[in-house]
């Protein structure tokens, strides 16, 4: 991680876990089975990038030894790592919240955050999981109350025979409830010069 920023490093590892799964075993044939924590380890001679062929699955113990000694992965390790990555493509993404590891899906459900939006923010907008979760989300339009009746925007539009987009736009633009529901819609019949 010497010549790469922490944010980019974390982004690459999040991408690896999302697209190729969490490391679930150690591919080192000489592993002493001391650790039950598995990690994606950068292969010697490779740079950190979004390419699973640049990484190998190792337990924490073997990962430390690998980084210290610089032992190249064997062909057997490389092939096993590729097979594991394919089989774990849909593993769940985990994040650390208050010092505890938790499934991102569970955290989103607990907080009422749209999980698909968080994934989109991370993988298309390149946000860290923390940024994706903490960036405010647009709320759905609240219900409108007019003359004692309370309904959603789409229900009002249907009842008043208005285009729902027009009504939503009026509410979003800050129109009063009365004006949004009662002002006539301009038609496209304008005089041409």
Residue range(s) defining the domain that contains residue 165:
144-182
- What pLDDT, in 10s, does the model give residues 118-147? 877 877 777 777 788 878 776 665 688 889
Greater model confidence, 188 or 114? 114
Q: State the total domains in the chain.
A: 3
- Whether residues 121 and 174 fall in one domain: no
What is the pLDDT, as a whole number, of residue 1? 47
| Averaged pLDDT for residues 137-162 | 82
Residue 89 has pLDDT above 50, yes or no: no
Q: Looking at the structure, tell me whether residues 83 and 98 fall in a common domain.
A: no
Does some domain include residue 63? yes
Domain assignment present for residue 169? The answer is yes
Q: Is residue 82 located within the same domain as residue 98?
A: no
pLDDT, average across residues 74-101: 61
- Of residues 117 and 95, the one with the higher pLDDT is 117
- Arithmetic mean of pLDDT over the chain: 77
**Do 36 and 61 belong together in one domain?**
yes
Q: Is residue 71 part of a domain?
A: yes
- 175 and 154 inside one domain: yes
Confidence of residue 46 (pLDDT cuts 50, 70, 90): confident
Higher pLDDT, 91 or 105: 105
- Whether 28 and 98 map to the same domain: the answer is no
- Domain stops at, among 87, 107, 125: 87
Q: How many Cβ atoms from other residues are within 10 Å of residue 148's Cβ?
A: 5
Most confident of 2-16, 53-67, 97-111, 136-150: 53-67
Same domain flag for 150 and 122 = no
Do both 15 and 67 map to the same domain? yes
Give the model's pLDDT for residue 193. 43
Q: What is the mean pLDDT of residues 155-169?
A: 88
Claim to verify: residue 15 and residue 52 sit in the same structural domain? yes
Lowest mean pLDDT among 30-39, 78-87, 100-109: 78-87
Predicted pLDDT of residue 62:
85
In this predicted model, what pLDDT tens digit does every residue of 13-35 receive, in sequence order?
888 888 878 888 888 888 888 77
Question: Which string of DSSP letters, residue by residue, matches the chain?
Answer: -TTS-HHHHHHHHHHHHHHH----S---TT-------EEEEEPTT--SSS-GGGEEEEEHHHHHHHHHH-PPPPHHHHHHHHHHHHHTTTPPPEEEETTEEEEHHHHHHHHT--HHHHHHHHHTS---HHHHHHSPPPPPPPPEEETTEEE-HHHHHHHHT--HHHHHHHHHTT--HHHHHHSPPPPS-----
Task: Supply the pLDDT for residue 101.
Answer: 74
75 and 30 co-located in one domain: yes
**Per the domain annotation, does 171 fall within a domain?**
yes
Q: For residue 189, tell me if it sits in a domain.
A: no
Pick from 166, 170, 97: nearest CA to 128: 97
Q: Is 139 within the bounds of a domain? A: no
- Check whether residue 101 and residue 51 sit in a common domain: no
With respect to residue 172, please indicate whether it lies within any of the assigned structural domains: yes
| 41 and 82 housed in the same domain | yes
pLDDT (0 to 100) of residue 70: 57
| pLDDT reported for residue 10 | 80
Output 164-169 pairs: Cβ under 8 A, ≥24 positions apart. 168/141
In-domain check, residue 187? no
């Amino acid at each position: 991680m010497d010549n790469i920023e922490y944010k980019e490093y974390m982004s690459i590892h999040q991408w690896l876990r999302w697209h190729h799964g969490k490391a679930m075993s150690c591919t080192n044939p000489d592993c002493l089975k001391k650790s039950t924590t598995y990690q994606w380890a950068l292969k010697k001679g490779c740079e950190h990038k979004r390419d699973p062929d640049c990484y190998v699955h190792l337990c924490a113990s073997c990962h430390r030894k690998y980084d210290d000694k610089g032992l190249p992965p064997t062909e057997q390790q490389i092939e096993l790592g590729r097979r594991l990555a394919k089989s774990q493509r849909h593993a769940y993404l985990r994040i650390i919240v208050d010092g505890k590891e938790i499934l991102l899906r569970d955290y989103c459900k607990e907080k009422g955050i749209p999980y698909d939006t968080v994934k989109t923010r991370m993988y298309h907008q390149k946000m860290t999981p923390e940024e994706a979760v903490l960036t405010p989300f647009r709320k759905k339009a609240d219900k409108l109350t007019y003359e004692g009746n309370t309904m959603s925007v789409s229900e009002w539009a249907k009842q008043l025979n208005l285009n729902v987009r027009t009504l939503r736009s009026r509410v979003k633009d800050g129109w009063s409830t009365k004006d949004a529901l009662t002002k006539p819609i301009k038609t496209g019949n304008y005089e041409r010069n």
